Structure 1
């Protein structure tokens, strides 16, 4: 199947769900360009929902779908051709070529959107849109609806219901198709190669930003368009800051370096964390805690399979982590006691997994939608083939008088991306070592 056929098939799936809900008009905007400072914009990245349905990468665009009981049509609004602007900003498809190339039924200039939307909404039962996602877009929708309601005297009715189109698309995006899995597999390979490069480059006396540069170079050299998120390159005590961003400290002999960094490829994210010794050799205390985290990840991966709940890998990881904390004197008492009291959260304060896909913290509910109960009372989502989640346990020990000195300022996290398969899961990021002995051997080489 061609890539554009894949996007057209997704639009048909959306149309089928809209039809089940009575039909209507869906409106999905791409992301706006955002100014960084003065005349400079941030690098442009499209909206994930819009790209999922269209494959179209230009700014100033919207997808409109009209669906009734018998038919559906897709309409793209995009920028017009403009030779002068193309000299400055690059080539544009224009409506006609975009319609032909991306398989839409119709296409119009983006500037015609406000003019045409009232007629498209007229006499339709519902509007499917991103409710509350953007105040400016909400105001625009109100303007369109007001224009329709103004025609009530001539028998034209406005949509009587508003339905969150993102909620429908969240369920679609949660389970990846073969094309998505292939792109994410390649993204994982690129990110793994970058981590291997970083391990080989690291030496005491270097700075965190030098290692970040090695990562970014490898991402781009291998064809990735962006980092999937801001890279975390955290040496020593900086690794105990979960979302450390400065990447400016000098790396010291005897410390660990935690790197949480990965690329985005063709709209899909990867997500890897590795922790390794700056000198190339783990101390006894570092190795002890590292092996606990690695065992916790192995326990979580074993529980990542169809029929497990989303929370099962987390529970498996936490039990191993808590036992390790007790064994090495970070906690006292029993495993069950620490789990019940939550005392382990001093050293492990985040969850083990999140969804992964077009966004690094991807869409989709973590509890079963439509199940009885509210909030935490709803059962956890059951894992199914095609879902992708991270597996990322950790231990973070800040210096404190009540803790063994050898464990002070050690932060360890090990993270991989897991695609749920029929028989278990496939680790998409296995190309970078994580066993302590393998890491030491790589760094010696």
Structure 2
């Protein structure tokens, strides 16, 4: 542990001071507007059945250990519909107007009240008035105003909520704090549960409605995903310049995530994957501890999240700046597979067509190299290419994706080949894990590669690795 800390401090000390111009972010504060969220709520209500209510809960604060909480991450559907990035809140959407707490409408939100003494420790929250002002919501209440008499389920035929699936109804008590009361979010969910039980109303998930809407991005969402992807591409390019034998995987991660933060990213989109040598063959390797050596490959699957929207980019590079013949052969197959998938990234294609095209190229390439014996044997192919080529991208790194591609859909194209040590092929192929992943926006006449700024071909990767890094 001490050796790791010493190495990291020495590495961090190498970061030069930056000028004001370098410190200034390229991206202004461009959060989604209240009008955007109002439009999404209207779209949900349009798809709801008659005489129905949809109930959405914010995420809970979860305790990590003793008096330390996990970093709060909002429920993505709740954020999509409100923009509110605070816990202990509940949104009610009705198909037809109802009256709650002497207010009539189709939208009601219950939020946590202000508590100045607590805010001294945790930071200011909006409270009911702040939510009303910032998000232009009319019917805003605090969570104490919600009880069994607030919501009359006898007036609705259908209840759309996923609180049980999201485990909110579990009687969650903060651990390590002597907590004896259910947290506000669980209390509101418990009230809903008791109402459903008392009235016998069935409920179903609103997932289909939200998946349909979220699978096609609005122009404002495309802007944010594009910016997140540009940050990610810059980080990957920086790692290419900085990588060298004797560097650790976590130092590569530090270089990557520095560029995310520098450009305004609040968080990585997911735990960063930086796997070298045999670790490049572990699909979701997150340990990032190994010392990288001459001749290793480094697979970096890392991306920024920006204002709630994630990108997802992967590049694979030779740590010493030059692919070996075996590494290059595998890389070129994956690159060809990705190019073949790009051809089918266009309106009208089924969402699985890019994968089928990529798989055919990989099967043919593995057979040609003698790594598998039969390109038509799917079991053999999946030994070295075990995952799908594409998934939707947006508020979640695995976002809903339409069954057939349409303009506004954003998804990944990420073929890969992973030859772990001990594989049933010549040892010269062992420890070669290659994945190339880009974020693709479907346009009216084809597609746009949002992550094209990160070098992708063998020649461009090797060229980038010859360039000077600020971390040298």
- Both structures adopt the same fold (TM-score exceeding 0.5): yes
Equivalent residue for 1:79? Answer: 112
Structural mapping, 1:46-61, within 5 Å: 46-61=74-89
Aligned with 2:447: secondary structure? strand
- Is 2:163–2:169's contact at 8 Å kept on the other side of the alignment? no
Deviation at 1:249, TM superposition (A): 0.4
Conserved 8 A contact 2:160-2:203: yes
- SS in structure 2 of the partner of residue 439 of structure 1: helix
Aligned to 1:66: 94
Deviation at 1:118, TM superposition (A): 3.0
Structure 1 position 248 matched with structure 2 position 278: no
- Measured in 2, the distance between the counterparts of 1:148 and 1:318 equals 47
Aligned CA distance change for structure 1 residues 266 and 98 (closer, same or farther; 3 Å): same
Counterpart in the other structure of 1:163? 204
Query: SS where residue 260 of structure 2 aligns?
Result: helix
**Deviation of 1:92 (Å):** 1.3
Does the CA-based 8 Å contact 1:49-1:166 persist in structure 2? no
Distance 1:242 1:148, change over 3 A: closer
Separation (CA, whole Å) in 1 of partners of 2:256 and 2:59: 27
Out of 450, 458, 464, the position equivalent to 1:436 is: 458
SS at match of 2:377: helix
Q: 1:329: which partner in 2?
A: 370
Which residue of structure 2 lines up, in the alignment, with residue 125 of structure 1?
157
How do residues 97-108 of structure 1 correspond to structure 2 at under 5 angstroms? Answer: 97-108=130-141
Residue 393 of structure 2 corresponds to residue 360 of structure 1: no
Deviation at 1:419, TM superposition (A): 1.1
Contact 2:88 2:112 in 1 (8 A): yes
1:418 aligns with 2:450: no
CA distance in 2, matches of 1:55, 1:142: 24
- Can you give the 5+ residue segments of structure 1 that lack an aligned partner in the other structure? 151-157, 367-380
Task: Report the Cα offset of residue 401 of structure 1.
Answer: 7.2
Secondary structure of the residue that 1:118 maps to in structure 2?
coil
| 1:305-324 correspondence runs (5 A) | 305-324=346-365
Is the aligned partner of 1:395 residue 2:420? Answer: no
Question: 1:378 maps to which residue?
Answer: none
Structure 2 residue aligned with 1:377? none
Matched position secondary structure for 1:430: coil
Name 1:205's counterpart in structure 2.
Answer: 246
- Quick one: distance in 1 between partners of 2:424 and 2:217? 47
The question of 1:191 aligning with 2:232 is answered yes
Q: 1:32 & 1:181 partners in 2: Cα distance?
A: 28
Which residue of 2 is the match for residue 137 of structure 1? Answer: 169
What is the CA-CA distance between 1:429 and the residue it aligns to?
0.9
Contact in 1 for aligned 2:423/2:430 (Cα 8 Å): no
Any idea what SS the aligned residue of 2:146 has? Answer: helix
CA distance in structure 2 between the aligned counterparts of 1:4 and 1:197, rounded to whole angstroms: 36
Q: Distance in 1 between matches of 2:423 and 2:96?
A: 68
Structure 2 residues not aligned, in runs of 5+: 1-30, 99-103, 171-185, 468-472
Q: 1:66: Cα distance to partner?
A: 2.2
Give the corresponding residue for 1:176: 217
- Quick check: 1:118–1:148 contact (8 Å CA) kept in 2? no
- Matches of 1:303 and 1:148 in 2, distance apart? 47
The change in CA–CA distance for 1:145 and 1:327 in structure 2 (over 3 A counts) is closer
Tell me the equivalent position of 1:3: 33
Residue 167 of structure 1 aligns to a residue in which SS? Answer: helix
TM-score of the aligned structures, taking structure 1 as reference length: 0.89
Distance 1:300 1:412 in 2: 16
SS in 2 for 1:315: helix
Aligned CA distance change for structure 1 residues 123 and 212 (closer, same or farther; 3 Å): same
3-state DSSP of counterpart to 2:451: coil
Q: Residues 403 and 219 of structure 1: is their aligned pair in 2 closer, same or farther, counting only changes over 3 Å?
A: same
Query: Is the 1:122–1:148 Cα contact (8 Å) retained in structure 2?
Result: no
CA drift of 1:398 comes to 1.9
Q: Is the 8 A contact 1:22 1:69 kept in 2?
A: no
Map 1:103-118; keep pairs closer than 5 Å: 103-115=136-148, 117-118=150-151
Q: Give, in whole Å, the separation in 1 of the partners of 2:324 and 2:208.
A: 48
- Mapped pair 1:94 → 2:122: no
Q: Distance in 1 between matches of 2:150 and 2:354?
A: 47
Structure 1 residue 232 corresponds to structure 2 residue 260: no
TM-score, reference length from structure 2? 0.84
- Residues 15 and 67 in structure 1, CA contact (< 8 A), matched pair in contact too: yes
2: CA distance, partners of 1:187 / 1:23? 40
Going from structure 1 to structure 2, the CA distance change for 1:425 and 1:147 (only over 3 Å counts) comes to closer
Please report how far the alpha carbon of residue 327 of structure 1 lies from its aligned counterpart in structure 2 after TM superposition.
1.5
Distance in 2 (CA, whole Å) between partners of 1:149 and 1:313 is 46
Distance 1:332 1:46, change over 3 A: same
Per the alignment, do residues 132 and 363 of structure 1 end up closer, same or farther by CA in structure 2, a change over 3 Å counting?
A: farther
